[in-house]
Structure 1
């Protein structure tokens, strides 16, 4: 299976250069995905039909699943090459799903750590968009930042299968998922970092249920789920028993970087809207673009974008090279989340009351930026983790190791 950390000549690359490919994706997202966001956001049958139509168009134009392996039906772009496109795709929350790149995290995880049965049963349907997955780690009383306290348990039966019981929440897309990867304790005691495993659970299994949706600042898509002695086949364990934290760390490193790239795309969208508003709107004192305070918003937003992008791509380069990127990912995640919140907030300020209503995507972009500072690891976690790693280098090596 193609590894996302390695660049390979792909069907997509052979058909178009990187700049042309990025322009085609930009046109697709702006002219086809963004105009249908209201329908896609609303969910239900109309949203499913719209998404299916967009996916068909993406396939027809050779833009389908670009970062996924060729042998599974994808475009075969390595992560380094795809990173330049991910920002463009991510200008809309629906871009990755419409263009087929959304399952990259799960396809990578299952390809590396799933057994033969799992790979043969699920990888091609995932790449084809015929199945959907989600990832369940955080629990109501156990933050994702402290996985050693995981309360969900999996007991092994005489036939080798697992019986999983527990409750998870803030599980993205759980209501429509066919599979959920669940972190559960298979050994050890509460508080031990050992004994945690990842199990791939079919959501059609008896004992699995979606408890409720958890709106995030008014937006849906997150869910609380319950597993009541759900039987999971023995071959649906990812890796070996006790491998959960190592696999999760690998997944989070890639996932956080992907989200940073998409946040850059969304921030650029907010920036464009702000500049268009300033350039075309006039008041009693003349064009907004001539006002120094408006110019200050534009400058600060551009500075935030331009200084964040290199941090994100530094993390991309290390991941693509298969190197440890924990420090760089931590820096990028905090910077990108703050940047998106800042740029969206400035764009709303320039729009005035119009920026608060339903006629622009700005409220949603601001919500995404604010939630990003908590979800997928709060700022405080990344700040302390990066600082401790840097300071350990001074203590042990006598000098800077990352600056």
Structure 2
């Protein structure tokens, strides 16, 4: 097994690391660069995005013909981890959710005309986007088959009615991917549509207050009231919405894990620095065996997460859906991030609980990791289904072709 990365990927990693060190980490230290929701303020963001474009560090996840760098999932795993050493990192490089996942699925599934109208402005950074799928009870959440939002065909248009909630980025988004039910067919009943924020027939009911910091545009509850959309807004074809969710959510879950590994490493970095310099009762904190055990445990957990993520990224790059591998990575890395933040706060004591470091930001953010894109329990059930179907082949190594 070859765990080396290409010189090109390493070049991107090194340049991203330098950008984060020189441009982003200093901004975290002063609250002037933060907006009211715990993200980078737009006045600071736009100049940094322009600088990232100029250095060729923009949209690594997309094909060159789309405006990206064509790094593939393995390259993304390396670089996204490096980006999220800073809490501001992903959005600066146009690799943050939900735009990241939306751009990748639109690149893969949209027509050329749709890409020109709906994808290109997100790629250039002119607009932000949102993915409107999740609904309040009794609608669809982790199970899209429960979706209640409907798209009823009337003449050459579709009329949309329904309610969505926890729609990330909706308040700042201009371009939306909307999932709605067009029939009761269990496999071909959902359809994906494109719409613009300025079109009539929908509204944001509220920006939902949450425990943690927010992406730009927050997490919103949306109401669709007889919104009319033409048939050319459909992505991939009527009834192909479930396929769109599969194409989008698997890679998006994994890119979350890539970024979370960067945050987990940052937690350990802050804990190490403090432990090496803090003395108590005549002993340096880092010399205490109890601290060394905590540090070693988190370091091992991070490396396990990196291996799980890289295995899943490799599977995706070779054309697999990697459902089993993505679920394992999602469960492990989400829990790891929470544990890393909690451990680092404990080692830092009151300093960790304060806003003198980004640890409290990461801790609040980390709790959502075990819920977004499928709760732990959902992914554990997915793994059990694979285990039931595959039995001992669940752990089978793939032999190379002779």
TM-score, reference length from structure 2: 0.90
Aligned length: 382
Shift, 1:328, TM fit: 0.4
Residue 402 (structure 1) aligns with: 395
SS of the residue 2:394 aligns to: coil
Q: CA RMSD in A?
A: 2.0
Which one of 165, 168, 190 corresponds to residue 169 of structure 1? Answer: 165
Query: Aligned partners of 2:38, 2:258: CA distance in 1, in Å?
Result: 28
Query: Aligned partners of 1:67, 1:268: CA distance in 2, in Å?
Result: 22
Shift, 1:46, TM fit: 8.5
Alignment of 1:149-298 (within 5 A): 149-158=146-155, 160-188=156-184, 192-220=186-214, 221-298=218-295
SS of the residue 1:168 aligns to: strand
Shift, 1:111, TM fit: 2.2
Indicate yes or no: 2:26 matched with 1:67.
Answer: no
Residue 337 (structure 2) aligns with: 340
Residue 315 (structure 1) aligns with: 312
SS of the residue 2:171 aligns to: helix
* 134-143 or 37-46, which deviates more: 37-46
Query: Aligned partners of 2:17, 2:112: CA distance in 1, in Å?
Result: 37
Indicate yes or no: 2:138 matched with 1:139.
Answer: no
Residue 26 (structure 2) aligns with: 35
Shift, 1:85, TM fit: 0.6
Residue 389 (structure 2) aligns with: 392
TM-score, reference length from structure 1: 0.90
* 121-130 or 33-42, which deviates more: 33-42
Return 5+ residue gaps in structure 1 as ranges: 1-12
Shift, 1:45, TM fit: 12
Shift, 1:179, TM fit: 1.2
Residues 1:113 and 1:228: Cα distance change in structure 2 (over 3 Å): same
Shift, 1:86, TM fit: 1.1
Residues 1:330 and 1:44: Cα distance change in structure 2 (over 3 Å): closer
SS of the residue 1:210 aligns to: strand
Contact conserved, 1:334 with 1:373, CA < 8 A, in 2? Answer: yes
* 192-201 or 124-133, which deviates more: 192-201
Residue 5 (structure 1) aligns with: none
Contact conserved, 1:308 with 1:336, CA < 8 A, in 2? Answer: yes
Query: Aligned partners of 1:111, 1:364: CA distance in 2, in Å?
Result: 33
Return 5+ residue gaps in structure 2 as ranges: 1-5, 397-402
Query: Aligned partners of 1:252, 1:46: CA distance in 2, in Å?
Result: 25
Residues 173-230 of structure 1, C-alpha deviation per residue, up to 9 Å, x if partnerless?
Answer: 10000111111111127xx454111111211111222211123314332111111111
Contact conserved, 2:305 with 2:332, CA < 8 A, in 1? Answer: yes
SS of the residue 2:237 aligns to: coil
